[in-house]
Structure 1
Amino acid sequence: MLMLVDCSNCRTPLQLPPGARAIKCAVCQAITHVADPRNLPPPSPYATSSHHNYAPPPPSSYNHSPSFGAHTPSVNGRKRAVICGISYRGTKHELKGCINDAKCMKYLLINKFKFPESSILMLTEEETDPYRIPTKHNIRMAMYWLVQGCQSGDSLVFHFSGHGSQQRNYTGDEIDGFDETLCPLDFVTQGMIVDDEINATMVKPIPHGVKLHAIIDACHSGTMLDLPFLCRMDRTGRYVWEDHSPQSGIFKGTNGGEVISFSGCDDNQSSADTSSLSKVTSTGAMTFSFIQAIERGHATTYGDMLTSMRTTIRKNETDVGGGTVTSLLGMLLTGGSLGGGLRQEPQLTASEPFDVYTKRFSL
């Protein structure tokens, strides 16, 4: 049973898996030690449920989502975000750090980038509102809500932490012949969300003056938004923009706006979940490196951001051999490093190419 514990420093709520006696916060880096789990607050009623217990909600236009009318827009435009963390509890697909990813990302957006809490839509298994359980239907509706009615000056964020996959592409719009997919909570019965749909829903409608950032912490996520340009950067920091526009001529860009995506790995790579051998657990490696780059002041430009994320993961290479995931965070705590080869490399894709070392990063 997963237990809830507040970070001893910033009070961000984190989940403590069975057997863990300490947890590291990706927001403030503090380590919270738990002497006796019996002193922890009771778990969420959803803590041990599997996705088979969730009845999908009836079709709706997502009237249960937050409304922009509930708060005053900032002088620099309005901000809204969809944050999705899925642990697939009680199934063979279970992950450990994804709901913590979601909570840490929400904390970051509110406290660092001044997103109003009322404009952040959270989808996790522990939500009590059935419209906020991360089923395929609800994630689809949340993506529609995120871009609906957006206008110049708006800043939008989509964060997903969970399983990603691939499936054969038959339309000729993928260089490698595979579509990338997000796995909702009920993907076993309802299927996955394909990158073509994600692009059509969240990329193509973005109008001039609107900026959308996606942070995708999942396997095979390099081109999850099907954006036309991928920043191919080597280990020295030199880069070129690869044109991933479909040979078929299918349009994958925006309606004049700007979309930039950070992803946990290339399309042919896996992205590690954190399950620490040292009994310390926190977030996924990509989300951790993303937050750490910002908190440590290494996110001045998009090039700085990408370099910092890759350096963090590279210095603490995650060994996933033999079916065991060794925590990046555990290695950070012990100051150690694992060999065995780099298994994931964060990627940057965009609707239009730009100079990554002069364009300033901002959400």
Structure 2
Amino acid sequence: MMLLVNCSNCHTPLQLPPGATSIRCAICQAITYLTTQPSLYNHVQPASAHGQKRAVIIGISYKYSKNELKGCINDAKNMKYLLTNKFKFPESSILMLTEEETDPYKIPTKYNMRLALYWLVLGCQPGDSLVFHYSGHGSRQINYSGDEVDGYDETLCPLDYKTQGMIVDDEINATIVRPLPRGVKLHAILDSCYSGTILDLPFLCRMSQSGHYSWEDHRPKSGVWKGSNGGEVFCISACDDHQKSDDTTVLSKVASTGVMTFCFIQAIERGHASTYGSLLSSMRNVIRNPTGRGYKKGGDGVATSLLALLTGGSLDSELSQEPQLTVCEPFDVYAKPFFL
């Protein structure tokens, strides 16, 4: 069984081969020696049977900070309920990271989030179904490599982002997308701002209000392949790369939730998610619809945008949040069945 250890210098998670006591980091070249207290995830056996389901669910509220969000932990709990009850994910195969966890390895710090993502894909085999759900702050930063269409890298904000930094889309892609072999399926469900291309997948589905769609090419000009190693990857994100997502009580009428997570779960529960196209259309219609149980801007909506909060900005009442779908290879979204 492979062990995961963090590089002693740059803290990048590394896979230590069986029997090895040290490893050299390919990024910074530092040598890391096996400690006597390896991480919790080192003891998790990789998948050994075909058809295994595994999920990482992360909800971060940033409690007691000026950037606090009210609905993210609710999102995490709701997603876990959906996976276990609707899609029959074993509870033991779901790793939850929230501030409410008592295990220190399950607090959503940058270190723990990185290890959780490595654990998600570790030892995956054909027939496996993997899910990554994140609800929390998202941000973006200038891209200097030239491989982003809009010139920005999208990021996720761990609980300790102020001291440890954010997790950039390039790292997420390298960790959970590119290693996936043929026969493995991954769904990433990201409820955060600027998350349209957060997995750096090659193709984005541009869908009009009438439901017509086309595939937008996001492959880097450098020619570097940022898709998988044959596996299927679907990223359903809260909004486009330039948009903000919301955290609100308007939809549930009871508790705060992320707009995107609520619409995603509702579409599935109401039978509106038979295909990827119907799922995406249903989610967008709930957000657009001002007369039904749709989401209206204003009220107690709080943007899950780190940039807006740090700059003291407010949610633009004219800005519409449009969930996005990105994938490795284009397909007919109204013909391909959706299932986790």
How would you bin the TM-score normalised by the shorter chain? 0.7 to 0.9
Distance 1:60 1:195, change over 3 A: farther
SS across alignment from 2:325: strand
State the Cα distance separating 1:217 from its structure 2 match.
0.2
Distance 1:192 1:320, change over 3 A: farther
Alignment pair present for 1:221 and 2:198 = no
Can you list the C-alpha shifts for 1:171-201, whole angstroms capped at 9, x where unaligned? Answer: 0010000000000000011000000000000
2:338 is aligned to 361
Alignment pair present for 1:176 and 2:153 = no
SS across alignment from 2:163: helix
1:287 is aligned to 261
1:210 is aligned to 184
2-side partners of 1:250 and 1:262: how far apart? 23
1:102 is aligned to 76
Alignment pair present for 1:115 and 2:89 = yes
Alignment pair present for 1:350 and 2:327 = yes
2-side partners of 1:318 and 1:60: how far apart? 48
Alignment pair present for 1:63 and 2:41 = yes
2-side partners of 1:202 and 1:284: how far apart? 23
8 A contact 2:136–2:191 mirrored in 1: yes
8 A contact 1:319–1:326 mirrored in 2: no
1:90 is aligned to 64
State the Cα distance separating 1:341 from its structure 2 match.
3.4
State the Cα distance separating 1:317 from its structure 2 match.
3.9
8 A contact 1:293–1:299 mirrored in 2: yes
State the Cα distance separating 1:64 from its structure 2 match.
6.5
- Any residues of structure 2 matched to 1:279-318 within 5 Å, and which? 280-315=254-289, 316-318=294-296
Match of 2:301 among 325, 330, 334: 325
Match of 2:55 among 60, 81, 94: 81
2-side partners of 1:137 and 1:245: how far apart? 29
Letter in 2 for 1:359: K
1:167 is aligned to 141
2:10 is aligned to none
State the Cα distance separating 1:302 from its structure 2 match.
0.3
Report sequence identity in percent. 68
Letter in 2 for 1:345: E
8 A contact 1:64–1:131 mirrored in 2: no
2-side partners of 1:61 and 1:180: how far apart? 28
SS across alignment from 2:84: helix
1-side partners of 2:252 and 2:185: how far apart? 40
1:128 is aligned to 102
State the Cα distance separating 1:282 from its structure 2 match.
3.3
State the Cα distance separating 1:156 from its structure 2 match.
0.1
Taking structure 1 as the reference length, the TM-score comes to 0.75
State the Cα distance separating 1:249 from its structure 2 match.
1.5
Letter in 1 for 2:86: K
Distance 1:317 1:150, change over 3 A: same
More moved, 250-259 vs 80-89:
250-259
Letter in 1 for 2:80: K
2-side partners of 1:127 and 1:278: how far apart? 24
2-side partners of 1:125 and 1:99: how far apart? 8
Taking structure 2 as the reference length, the TM-score comes to 0.80
Question: Aligned residues, how many?
Answer: 289
Distance 1:206 1:340, change over 3 A: same
Distance 1:169 1:282, change over 3 A: same
2-side partners of 1:297 and 1:276: how far apart? 22
8 A contact 2:236–2:326 mirrored in 1: yes
Distance 1:185 1:65, change over 3 A: farther
Letter in 2 for 1:188: K
1-side partners of 2:251 and 2:330: how far apart? 41
Can you list the C-alpha shifts for 1:263-298, whole angstroms capped at 9, x where unaligned? Answer: 000000000011559973231100000000000000
1:187 is aligned to 161
SS across alignment from 1:281: coil
8 A contact 1:318–1:342 mirrored in 2: no
1-side partners of 2:87 and 2:339: how far apart? 8
Letter in 1 for 2:336: K
More moved, 243-252 vs 350-359:
243-252
8 A contact 2:105–2:112 mirrored in 1: yes
Letter in 1 for 2:326: T
State the Cα distance separating 1:318 from its structure 2 match.
3.6
Letter in 2 for 1:194: V
Distance 1:230 1:60, change over 3 A: farther
8 A contact 1:131–1:138 mirrored in 2: yes
More moved, 60-69 vs 253-262:
60-69
Contiguous gaps of at least 5 residues in structure 2: 1-35, 304-315
2-side partners of 1:162 and 1:219: how far apart? 9
1:26 is aligned to none
1:261 is aligned to 235
